[in-house]
Amino acid sequence: MIFYVLINKKVMKKILFLFVLTSFIGYSQQNIDISKSFVKWTGSQISGKSHFGTLNFKSAKLKFIKGDLVGGNFIVDMMSMSVDDLTGRGKKSLEGHLMSDDFFSVNDFSTSSLTLNNVKKVSSDEFNAVGSLTIKGITHDVSVKFFRNLIDQSMSAILTFDRSKYDVKYGSGSFFENLGDKLILDEIELEVTLYMI
């Protein structure tokens, strides 16, 4: 009986080893060139007026199995927030306001992050993902669409998040009434460009 148990343990170890080995065949973790990669954000008012700018990454990684995207993790440097449709004093003023407690409180929350939890292949160059987006220490699930550029092997992603869920209150109709044409929409659009190393 003891001999049978020992044999079974050896067999189980071999099966487990083979399972782990086959699980990692074709698995790769792709580092991103954060010096070239960036996030473009766009925020809009009810009046139709909008502003846009960029954010830089502190770190970014994508995970693939047999060439298909299966996961990823991104950390964004909120201190890098830039307004790109304005110049001079207007640019500096809006950047300061966005970094303040009215919006993203970057002195207290210097990074935001996104972790991909579930990725589904749509085609050879398109993937739909659900990820955990953390802003100001608050986490919610978001939907993300990824696209692969087959020419230079870069990837892009688009997502929209509801800022009111992350305690970003300024000018939001979710928190204030009678804002008129000063109402700022809760939905913020992000366009991500990722270059592989």
Task: Tell me the domains of the chain and their CATH numbers.
Answer: 27-194 (2.40.128.110)
The whole-number pLDDT of residue 3 equals 42
Cα distance between residue 34 and residue 75, in whole Å = 10
| Residue numbers of the chain with a pLDDT score lower than 70 | 1-25, 178
Q: What is the DSSP string of 142-168?
A: EEEEEEE-TTT--EEEEEEEEGGGGT-
Structure confidence by residue, pLDDT tens digits, 97-127: 999 999 999 999 999 999 999 999 999 999 9
- Encoded amino acid at 157, one letter: A
User: In degrees, to the nearest 5, what angle opens at C-alpha 76 toward C-alphas 70 and 78?
Assistant: 160
The whole-number pLDDT of residue 9 equals 56
Cβ–Cβ < 8 Å for 136, 167:
yes
Q: 146 is written with which tokens?
A: 């990824």
The whole-number pLDDT of residue 8 equals 57
Cβ–Cβ < 8 Å for 140, 131:
no
DSSP 183: P
The dihedrals phi and psi of 22, each to the nearest 5 degrees, come to -70, -30
Neighbours of 113 (CB within 10 A): 16
Cα 68 from chain centroid?
Answer: 18
The whole-number pLDDT of residue 1 equals 52
Cα distance between residue 161 and residue 140, in whole Å = 9
Cβ–Cβ < 8 Å for 46, 183:
yes
